Structure 1
Amino acid sequence: MIKIDCLGQICPVPMIQLQKHIHQIQKGEIVLIVTDHSCTLTSIRDFCKGHGFSYESEEVITGVWEVKVCKTN
C-alpha cells in the first residue's frame, strides 16, 4: 500500500499525487490518500469511475478523510 498525505493541500494536488502513484502499484494493491479537502472526494470518485478502479472513503476525524483506491485492472 502506498500512503499519500495530502493534509493542507487543495485540488488538484491530491489528484495529481494519486495519478502519479496509481501507476506504481499492481492490480489489487491500494493507494491510501489522507485529505482534509472535501472536494477531493468528488474528484477521486470521478477518477475511479472513469478508470474502473474501486474506492472507499471514511471520515476518520471531523474534516479528515482516508480514501482507499484499489487498482482493479
Structure 2
Amino acid sequence: MFHVGWCGERRVFGCVIHIEIRAGKIWIQRDGTEVGIANELIEAGVPKSDIVLGYRSPYMRKFTNLGTEVYKY
C-alpha cells in the first residue's frame, strides 16, 4: 500500500505497508500504520508464529513473540 499524490505543491509518495508471503509465513517488511499490521493479523486469527517482522534483524526477532525465521535468497 502506498501514499501517492500531491499535497499542495509537494509530491507525496511512500510505502505504508509492504507484506510478502514466503514459505507459508507472512513477512512484514514495512509497517507504517498506527495500530500495527501484525496486531491486526493476530486479531484476525493468524498465529503469531506465522508472522515475521522482516524489518527487524534476525537477532532482534527472537525478542518478539512472533516468528523468528531467517529467509535466505
TM-score range, shorter chain: 0.3 to 0.5
Structure with greater proportional strand content: 2
| TM-score, reference length from structure 2 | 0.36
| TM-score, reference length from structure 1 | 0.36
